Amino acid sequence: MSDAVSDASNSQIRRLADWDASRLRDLADDHGTPLYVLDRERVRQNYARLEAAFPDAEVLYAAKANALGDVLETVLEAGGGIECASAGELRRALAAGATGDQVHYTAVNPPAADLDIAVEAAAEQPRMTITAGAEDTIDRLAERGYDGRLCLRVNPGIGAGHHEKVRTGADAKFGVPAERAVETVLEAAERGFDVVGIHAHVGSGVSSDDLEAHREFVSRMGDLARNVNEALEPAATDSSTAESAVSKGLEFVDVGGGFGVPYRETDAPLDLEAVATATRDALGPLDARLTIEPGRYLVADAGVLLTRVNTVKPAPETTVVGVDAGMTTLLRPAMYGSYHPICNLASDVDDRSTLEQTVTGPICESADVFCTDRRLPESARGDLLAIGNAGAYGYEMASTYNSRPRPASVVFEADGSSRIARRRETLDDVVRLERSGEERQTQSAETAGSPEVRR
Ligand SMILES: Cc1ncc(COP(=O)(O)O)c(C=O)c1O
Ligand SMILES: N[C@@H](CCCC[NH3+])C(=O)O
């Protein structure tokens, strides 16, 4: 890890070792651990690289990767829009200053309250797009009086991604089967919806090895878009139905996100140019804009998680290093077996010998492990460890399991300034929503006194 400020090059690879160790040590001293740190400039760089590779595409950042207001504002400032997977994300996007034309609401199996909020937001922001992934979601929108901009999420029948749990493209939960897409779009248009796009997402953490699957997927989307446009066309040109809402072709084809990043030190970066070229070629001739929805690519290497060593325990086959972050702070290793780089930030680390260590958290689950038998410089109590590539699906998947408060998040800027972007939860926060002990006692005393209970 460098002790000099990194040159923040615009390279596609930014390893954990490129972070400025002394700056991270200062942040941990100032704000405590566990601590998420986000480098805003790196989000800008990642956005710029993506924009350069896809100059004609609309970029919608998938807020689920990291919905921190600072991240959303950075993307909006850079010219992107926001893809929201819930009413909460929608609220955050609007609070960050997104206007309707910069927002797509794409919830899967949306709860009623979500739809109420999305329809309300769309009434105020008529350029907002709502994406439906089931025919009856369209009914539910119509029941709420919505007939605005609609995009249909399609299940393309092709999945890809770093783990089976994140491959959505062939999972029946996501999207209307491709073979029903044309009729669903037509019906929606005939009901008065302004059908503006079709959408699909194959999965998350797609690598250069998945290029063929990506090409096939985009080619299916291109064919589908042409079929949809053809089906919409007669009504658009037939003067007897000129009043019909079916009046134009698709505005955009949204091929989702999924662009992977290197996690292991030896992983090669995604060949973004190759993906962009394959996307353009596979889509074919189309009078509609390409839309992409990257999440991880924009934020993964912009974030690290800082955690302190609580305990070092020699065990027969490994040394167990207990840290103050756990699966409740960063779930990915426990959930997907994901690899995250780990670096000891102690200033004398170069003088230490290395040995195999298992880094674990404080949660009562055997899955609460960040790495098993990994060769790292010998750890000592009080050491500060950095866990890399924690900017995507890190804090967003954190929980308060075991009644552990969630960590704070700090954002730093290229000029060296930093600020708390989200404060650390306290134990009071963790119990805040529950009846207090006093309320419980009062209520049970009242119940005990009631004649029905005495009988
Ligand atoms: C609909 C949709 N769009 C975009 C994304 C972003 O994916 P990623 O973070 O892999 O780019 C996801 C997550 O997998 C998604 O479900
Ligand atoms: N949470 C997953 C990505 C899933 C994206 C949502 N569809 C991960 O950490 O890799």
pLDDT band at 444 (very low <50, low <70, confident <90, very high): confident
Of 107-116, 138-147, 165-174, 239-248, minimum mean pLDDT range: 239-248
Is 221 in contact with 175 (CB distance < 8 Å)? no
Compute, in angstroms, the gap from residue 335 CA to the centroid of ligand 2. Answer: 10
Closest atom of ligand 1 to 393 CA is: 9
Q: Domain map of the chain by residue range?
A: 40-298
**Whether the bond into 34 is cis, omega within 30 of 0:** yes
With 0.80 as the threshold, say if the pTM is over it.
yes
**Cα–chain center distance at 409:** 16
pLDDT band at 243 (very low <50, low <70, confident <90, very high): very low
Q: Measured between alpha carbons, how far is 20 from 7 in angstroms, rounded to an integer?
A: 10
For the residues 241-251, what does the mean pLDDT come to?
A: 61
For the residues 40-69, what does the mean pLDDT come to?
A: 97
- Beta pairing class for 129-132 and 342-344: unpaired
Which pLDDT score, from 0 to 100, does residue 171 have?
Answer: 86
ipTM metric? 0.99
What amino acid is encoded at 163 in this protein?
H
Strands (E), 173-318: 176-177, 194-199, 252-254, 289-292, 303-314
What amino acid is encoded at 75 in this protein?
V
Other CB atoms within a 10 A radius of the CB of residue 171 amount to: 15
Q: Measured between alpha carbons, how far is 326 from 369 in angstroms, rounded to an integer?
A: 7
Identify the DSSP state of 259.
B
> Is 336 known as a binding-site position?
yes
For the chain, give the number of residues.
Answer: 455
Which pLDDT score, from 0 to 100, does residue 5 have?
Answer: 34
CATH number for the 40-298 domain, one of 3.20.20.10, 3.40.50.970, 3.40.630.10, 3.40.50.1820? 3.20.20.10
- Per residue in 348-358, pLDDT tens? 999 999 999 99
pLDDT at 246 over 80: no
Closest atom of ligand 1 to 205 CA is: 10
322, two tokens:
């207990």
Residues with CB under 6 A from ligand 1: 62, 65, 83, 106, 168, 201, 204-205, 256-259, 293-297
Q: Measured between alpha carbons, how far is 56 from 47 in angstroms, rounded to an integer?
A: 14
Atom 9 of ligand 2, residue of closest alpha carbon: 393
Which pLDDT score, from 0 to 100, does residue 198 have?
Answer: 98
**Of 340, 168, 327, which is closest to residue 262 (Cα–Cα)?**
340
- Per residue in 267-322, pLDDT tens? 999 999 999 999 999 999 999 999 999 999 999 999 999 999 999 999 888 999 99
pLDDT at 41 over 80: yes
